A and B are shown apart, each in its own frame.
Chain A
Amino acid sequence: MAGMSGRMSTVIKAKISKLLDKAEDPGETLDYSYTRQLESLQQVKKGIADVVTAKKRLGMQAQKLEQSVVKLDTQARQALAAGNEELARTALERKSLAQAELQSLDQQVAELQSQQDKLTESEKRLRTKIEAFRTKKEVIKAQYSAAEAQVRISEAATGVGEEMADVGLAMQRAVDKTEDMKARASAVEELEAAGTFEDLTQLGSGQDDIDRELAALGTGSMVDDELAKMKAELGQGSAPPPAELESGEGKP
């Protein structure tokens, strides 16, 4: 039952013993160790870039959904003004679905932002530590006998190795979260492709999908409320022209 902290110790020990087995010459060990550290830093930078990409993708989806919400609202009003309550209801159901999706996306974007901030901090810490190691290795090379140097190298490499392992596990956590969100993002894209959030007037027959039906069950009463509100508003004000819906699907 090794938890994160236990796993970390195991990772460090494995890395260091491998490192010390590698070379007989302390100078070589030091240089090799430093090269590995720089590689690890590159990995962290790549990890941060991945999180940023995932965040951007979700952000773009959120923008599209926002546009859908506005459009579906307008369509509902137009449908109602034209006396087609059924079409208005469909539009509001989709709007409600899009809004729920939007809320969840916003949360995920915030979560990724926090992951990005943490990784950026970790990257900075690791970079400073590697820089300190670079200085230290020159001192060790210059000042110590081979036997003594071996001990110093082990200490220094373990210290930096610990930082690398910490960043590595933090990255793993970030990657896992990002993967979950990518999967969700794909699901939203499929919903979009299925026409769930699309322009009502562009829907052909047979494009209703089960997802929408299911969602409608849960959002029914919310839609009823909003429909009633819209009716009241339209009753008082002037209705927009129903032009766009003349050739629409929902006509009885």
Chain B
Amino acid sequence: MIVRIMGEGQYRLSAEVLERVNELDNTIVKAVDGDDEDGFHESFEEMLNVIRSEGEHLGDEEIETSDVIVPPADTSFAEAAAEFTGEGLIPD
């Protein structure tokens, strides 16, 4: 699976890593639903770090379409409300 972090670039994720990202995705949806701003920032930060450190960064010259698009690292809590709804970024 290919994941793009907006404003940063694309990463190729293994199934296991994607599973972890999906779990975090669900945690974030709960945090946003529960109006838990600190919880959102914590989990979102972790999600980005997992993608960056566990994923394989795609070279700029590789032309691939992403399966999942993650909003930028400076996404505010207010903006997150429109991103992390229902099943989150990754359909369960």
Residues of chain B within 8 A (CB-CB) of A128 are: 60-61
Residue of B with least CB distance to A169? B6
A156-B63 in contact given A3-B82, A5-B6, A5-B89 (Cβ < 8 Å): yes
Does chain B have a CB within 8 A of A141? Answer: no
Residues of chain A within 8 A (CB-CB) of B63 are: 129, 132-133, 136, 155-156, 159-160
Q: Mark B1-18, 1 if CB is under 8 A from A, else 0.
A: 000101101000000000
Q: Mark B55-91, 1 if CB is under 8 A from A, else 0.
A: 0000011111110011110010001111111000100
Does chain B have a CB within 8 A of A131? Answer: yes
Whether the Cβ atoms of A124 and B85 lie closer than 8 Å is no
Whether the Cβ atoms of A129 and B61 lie closer than 8 Å is yes
Whether the Cβ atoms of B69 and A129 lie closer than 8 Å is no
Residues of chain B within 8 A (CB-CB) of A169 are: 6
Bound-state CA distance A8–B70 (Å) is: 10
How many chain A residues touch B (Cβ–Cβ < 8 Å)? Answer: 28
Q: What's the dominant secondary structure at chain B's contact region?
A: loop
Q: Which of A128, A131, A162, A173 has the most CB of B within 10 A?
A: A162
Q: What's the dominant secondary structure at chain A's contact region?
A: helix
Whether the Cβ atoms of A166 and B6 lie closer than 8 Å is yes
Does chain B have a CB within 8 A of A158? Answer: yes
Whether the Cβ atoms of A170 and B61 lie closer than 8 Å is no
Give the distance to chain B from A14, nearest Cβ to Cβ, in Å: 15
- Of residues 113 to 135 in A, which have CB atoms within 8 Å of B's CB atoms? 118, 122, 124-125, 128-129, 131-133
Q: Mark A1-24, 1 if CB is under 8 A from B, else 0.
A: 111111011000000000000000
Whether the Cβ atoms of A1 and B82 lie closer than 8 Å is yes
Residues of chain A within 8 A (CB-CB) of B83 are: 3-6
Whether the Cβ atoms of B60 and A5 lie closer than 8 Å is no
Bound-state CA distance A169–B65 (Å) is: 17
Query: Which residues of A come within 8 Å of B, CB atoms?
Result: 1-6, 8-9, 118, 122, 124-125, 128-129, 131-133, 136, 155-156, 158-160, 162, 166, 169-170, 173
Give 10 new A-B contacts, CB below 8 A, not counting A155-B63, A159-B63, A162-B65: A3-B81, A4-B6, A5-B70, A8-B69, A132-B61, A136-B63, A158-B65, A162-B66, A166-B6, A166-B7
